[in-house]
């Protein structure tokens, strides 16, 4: 059977999924609701409507509807870069001399270079539908900002991006890609917002952080008529849109009767992993099939493996709603030597709940191991992976090597979320042998967790 499986499995246009799948519909324990940071009461739709687009608020709060039809405009845009292939990594299997069968779902085939476009186009679409002028957001490494700029250009929306200052300075090409698509890009913290000015006053030399850029983007949205804030990960709505990854992957594998034993994804805020595993997790939750799910995070930013399951702020400025999630504390910043992305302090509430209930596993990897896996993969399979994606590659290679020892013919599916063309400074450090590992110390973790808000529910 396996001989017949092509190197790349593509779906035809009519095999492409026409609805997103909402895994919350099949969860017995639903993810905890977002809380209002002022009252600590669950956020109502009306409260959320001030920050997010109306339709996206409905998706955010809907724990029961299993399928959401994908609007035709979004399907049309998806056609420009989807379906994305499921690749049978024959070359990697051979190089590793493993009996394991390795598949990856490749999301790097669009200009943003990552899976983030899947949600960007959806969020921009609903903003446009609502008659808004534009959206605001933050970006760290730049993939999300790029994806949103592309989506806004397509739909004719204004796009204001707060880019973490170090990235703004270190990744000028990312910045210019966004500007080419028409976005207005501001380094964060900036003096365009109250929260930005406050942070600059206290820490004039701060390199910025995602949490801080989020605060600025939210403030800008709520103080500008006709603008809403959009977020590229963590939220329930984002996992819903990203379910397209898993639905396509499952449809492609089903065509050949392939059932993965182990599904691996890197985990920053949880959107690609949540999207990839959703339909498989649905089967597990309904008791129809069993799968082993593995979230892979950096040792320097280990929210699932070492964080606390608690309500926390989603941003440094504490203006956003609180989410119950595995968190390292909203003031957390990974060590400055960390170069591999996945820097967010928290994790999607959906994945946090599933992890808490024992439906998935998590592991950490160190960055030199991650870049070693990236290099090996690039040389063998040809694709230059994003450092984020390479966390999943590392874990997949390690699992395949275990199979070589045990002789087990495990079927492994991992998410290859994007390409690393804008990460060459980090690759350069690795190539020059200058990259060091950083593992979060217990002391630093304890210190960071002291800032958790006190919430009694």
Ligand X SMILES: *Cc1c(COP(=O)(O)O)cnc(C)c1O
CB of 333 to ligand X, least distance (A): 17
Q: Does 249 bind ligand X (CB under 6 A)?
A: no
CB of 367 to ligand X, least distance (A): 14
- Spatial distance between the Cα atoms of 127 and 148, rounded to a whole number of angstroms: 12
One character per residue 317-346, x = contact with ligand X (rule: CB under 6 A): -------------------------x----
- How many angstroms separate the Cα of 381 from the Cα of each of 377, 384, 389? 6, 9, 14
CB of 344 to ligand X, least distance (A): 7
Q: Which of residues 219-238 bind ligand X (CB under 6 A)?
A: 233
Which one, 260 or 418, has the nearer CB to ligand X? 418
Pick the binder of ligand X from 210, 386, 395, 403 (CB under 6 A): 386
CB of 120 to ligand X, least distance (A): 11
Q: Does 149 bind ligand X (CB under 6 A)?
A: no
Pick the binder of ligand X from 123, 271, 278, 353 (CB under 6 A): 271
- Residue sitting closest to ligand X (CB): 418
Tokens for 197? 């000015």
Q: Does 365 bind ligand X (CB under 6 A)?
A: no
Which one, 419 or 448, has the nearer CB to ligand X? 419
Q: Does 171 bind ligand X (CB under 6 A)?
A: no
Which one, 381 or 388, has the nearer CB to ligand X? 388
Q: Of 38-46, 174-182, 381-389, 449-457, which part binds ligand X (CB under 6 A)? A: 381-389
CB of 161 to ligand X, least distance (A): 14
- How many angstroms separate the Cα of 139 from the Cα of each of 152, 186, 233? 15, 10, 11
Q: Does 266 bind ligand X (CB under 6 A)?
A: yes
CB of 55 to ligand X, least distance (A): 21
Which one, 127 or 276, has the nearer CB to ligand X? 276
Q: Which of residues 408-427 bind ligand X (CB under 6 A)?
A: 417-418
CB of 145 to ligand X, least distance (A): 10
Q: Does 269 bind ligand X (CB under 6 A)?
A: yes
Q: Does 110 bind ligand X (CB under 6 A)?
A: no
Q: Does 389 bind ligand X (CB under 6 A)?
A: yes
Query: Which residues make up the interface to ligand X (CB under 6 A)?
Result: 114, 116, 143, 233, 266-273, 342, 386, 388-389, 417-418
């Amino acid at each position: 059977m396996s001989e017949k499986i092509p190197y790349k499995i593509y779906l035809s246009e009519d095999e492409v999924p026409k609805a997103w799948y909402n895994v919350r519909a099949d969860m017995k324990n639903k993810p905890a609701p977002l809380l209002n940071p002022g009252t600590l009461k669950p956020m109502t739709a009306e409260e959320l409507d001030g920050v997010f687009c109306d339709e996206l608020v409905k998706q955010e709060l809907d724990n029961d509807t299993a399928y959401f039809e994908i609007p035709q405009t979004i399907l049309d845009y998806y056609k420009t870069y989807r379906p994305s292939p499921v690749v049978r990594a024959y070359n990697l299997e051979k190089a590793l001399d493993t009996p394991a069968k390795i598949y990856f779902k490749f999301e790097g085939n669009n200009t943003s270079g990552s899976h983030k476009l899947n949600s960007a186009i959806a969020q921009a679409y609903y903003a446009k539908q609502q008659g808004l002028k534009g959206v605001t957001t933050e970006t760290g490494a730049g993939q999300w900002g790029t994806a949103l700029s592309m989506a806004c250009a397509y739909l004719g929306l204004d796009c204001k991006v707060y880019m973490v200052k170090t990235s703004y300075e270190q990744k000028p090409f990312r910045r210019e890609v966004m500007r080419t698509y028409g976005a207005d890009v501001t380094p964060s913290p900036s003096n365009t917002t109250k929260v930005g000015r406050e942070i600059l006053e206290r820490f004039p030399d701060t390199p910025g952080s995602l949490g801080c850029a989020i605060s600025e983007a939210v403030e800008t949205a709520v103080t500008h008529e006709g603008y809403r804030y959009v977020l590229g990960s963590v939220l329930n709505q984002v996992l819903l849109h990203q379910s397209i990854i898993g639905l396509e992957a499952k449809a492609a594998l089903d065509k050949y009767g392939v059932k993965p034993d182990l599904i691996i994804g890197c985990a920053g805020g949880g959107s690609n992993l949540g999207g990839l595993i959703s339909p498989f997790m649905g089967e597990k939750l309904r008791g129809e099939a069993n799968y082993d799910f593995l979230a892979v995070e950096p040792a320097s930013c280990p929210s699932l493996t070492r964080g606390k399951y608690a309500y926390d702020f989603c941003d440094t400025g504490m203006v956003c709603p609180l989410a119950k999630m595995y968190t390292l504390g909203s003031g957390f910043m990974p060590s400055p030597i960390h170069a591999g992305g996945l820097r967010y302090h928290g994790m999607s509430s959906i994945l946090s709940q599933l992890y808490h209930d024992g439906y998935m596993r998590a592991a950490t990897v160190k960055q030199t191991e991650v870049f070693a896996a990236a290099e090996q993969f690039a040389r063998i399979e040809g694709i230059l992976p994003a450092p984020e994606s390479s966390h999943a590659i590392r874990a997949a290679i390690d699992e395949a090597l275990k199979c070589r020892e045990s002789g087990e013919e495990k079927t492994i599916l991992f998410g290859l979320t994007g390409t690393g063309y804008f990460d060459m400074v980090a690759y350069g450090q690795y190539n020059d042998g200058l990259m060091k590992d950083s593992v979060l110390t217990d002391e630093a973790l304890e210190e960071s967790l002291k800032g958790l808000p006190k919430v009694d529910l």
